[in-house]
Structure 1
Amino acid sequence: DDLAMKSLANWTPRLPMEATSLMGNYVRIEPLVIERDVPLLWEALGGTSDAINERLYWFGGSRLEDEQDLAETLREIEKPVGCCVNVLRLQSTGQVSGMASYIATVPEQGSTEIGYVAHGLSMARTPAATEAHYLLAKHALVTMGYRRYEWKCDSNNEPSQRAALRLGFQYEGCFRQHRVTARRTNRDTKWFSMLDSEWEQREREFQIWLDPSNFDDDGQQKKRLEMIRNELC
């Protein structure tokens, strides 16, 4: 097809992804500062070991007993070049309410993944959560000039799969027996992607959905993001 035949004669490797500061109407995204943010994330994501481990179950790591364990997990995420954790703050309160990370970054190929995403109760299923994904995708595909933006998840993680499709990622397939988890269970991994060539359409969908006119006086959406996508096609 036309995309496959597109010449990349002028392609150059991109800079590694770094945590960044991004400002939206509903959410503010900031680089993780371990000492400052870990206690805030611990509280936002549940406040107790049981609650944290339930919310972060699909991270696939060992059980987190305290804030030090969470800090160590975040340090491990950020070890590879181009992998970084961003914290998500609600604009309305300034409260840290979640996290999202750039991982599996390959600057030579212009590919990065959004992963280790977690929203606290104050952010889950709100415009702030959707806006965070919009800002992070735009930063990767436009500002940093990456070609490919990935989303991967355990094949049993149905909420993550629904979220990927809702946000406009395309399903690519399943890697069977892809991982042995820290819990010594099998993980089949489902792959999704968003490409730079698709961004103009995705951005238009996000902008229409996030516009204040799409919400009623109670803050409820009038049109779902998928409905807007279908209307624009």
Structure 2
Amino acid sequence: MPEPTTLSGRVVRLEPLGLEHLTDLYAAGGNDDEVWRWMPAATPRSEEEMRRIAQSLIENPGIVPFSVILRDTERAIGWSTLHDVPTFDQSLEIGWTWYGRAYWRTAVNTECKLLLLGHAFDKLGHNRVLLKTDVLNTRSQQAIRRIGGVYEGTLRRHRQRPDGTWRDTVHFGILDDEWPACRDRLEHALTR
């Protein structure tokens, strides 16, 4: 797994997720069922519940979690992670991503993906990045396709949702030789 680092853009800065970010994070998206609807954890109903979720990510050796800091306010507005992808050489997964609802359909996600993908391909030299989402999360699937993610398949009954129902998981990938076109697409989107 890559070492925790800070990645800076014009709109956001990604820095290692820390418990000092919890108050901002909870204010941005805690207790919001729509923000947490497709996440692998139930909606945190208190800052303490969010602390437990964040702590599990921080302590997991197969995950590098980042707080998403809005540069205009210096407040944490969400998080995203890099995951190890067992059995895939030189591969990473971008996942566990959420932002407060006020930041949906803004430059935040575009720049976060530009920073994370650039780190994975340009800095770390990975061969492949995986992005996956719930089959019912069409908004996320559209966003992944917009940045250049290629549909690779759907794993049926892949994992249980927090409510106990079974989730089918849609897998997308971006390969290193596809990255230049994806980077151009993301950079172009940021200039609009």
Give the one of 143, 152, 158 matched to 2:123: 143
- 1:61, CA displacement in angstroms? 2.2
Once the two structures are overlaid, the 10-residue window that deviates more, 86-95 or 62-71, is 62-71
- Is residue 2:178 matched to residue 1:207? no
Equivalent pair of 2:36/2:43 in contact (CA under 8 Å): no
Equivalent pair of 1:83/1:105 in contact (CA under 8 Å): no
Q: How far apart, CA to CA, are the structure 2 residues paired with 1:208 and 1:75? A: 36
Secondary structure at the aligned position of 2:114 is classed as: helix
The structure in which a higher percent of residues are strand is: 2
* One-letter amino acid matched to 2:21: D
The runs of at least 4 aligned residues of structure 1 exceeding 6 Å deviation read none
Q: How far apart, CA to CA, are the structure 1 residues paired with 2:103 and 2:8? A: 16
Equivalent pair of 2:17/2:58 in contact (CA under 8 Å): no
TM-score, L = length of structure 2: 0.91
Give the one of 37, 49, 54 matched to 2:21: 37
* One-letter amino acid matched to 1:204: D
Deviations 1:77-124 (A, max 9, x none): 334323021111122222222211112444971111111111113422
Q: Aligned residues: percent identity?
A: 30
Rg: which structure is higher?
1
Equivalent pair of 2:132/2:170 in contact (CA under 8 Å): yes
Over aligned residues, Cα RMSD in angstroms? 1.8
* Alignment map for 1:45-194 (pairs within 5 Å): 45-46=29-30, 49=31, 51=32, 53-106=33-86, 109-194=89-174
**Residues 192 and 108 of structure 1: CA distance in aligned 2, closer, same or farther (over 3 Å):** closer
* One-letter amino acid matched to 2:10: N
**Residues 93 and 180 of structure 1: CA distance in aligned 2, closer, same or farther (over 3 Å):** closer
**Residues 120 and 180 of structure 1: CA distance in aligned 2, closer, same or farther (over 3 Å):** closer
Equivalent pair of 2:28/2:76 in contact (CA under 8 Å): yes
RCO higher in 1 or 2 (8 Å CA, sep ≥ 6)?
2
* One-letter amino acid matched to 2:7: L
TM-score, L = length of structure 1: 0.76
Give the one of 22, 45, 48 matched to 2:7: 22
Secondary structure at the aligned position of 1:197 is classed as: coil
Equivalent pair of 2:70/2:77 in contact (CA under 8 Å): yes
List gaps (5 residues or longer) in structure 2: none
Equivalent pair of 2:7/2:14 in contact (CA under 8 Å): yes
List gaps (5 residues or longer) in structure 1: 1-15, 215-233
Equivalent pair of 2:36/2:42 in contact (CA under 8 Å): no
- 1:26, CA displacement in angstroms? 1.2
- 1:63, CA displacement in angstroms? 4.6
Q: How far apart, CA to CA, are the structure 2 residues paired with 1:33 and 1:105? A: 23
Residues matched between the structures, number:
192
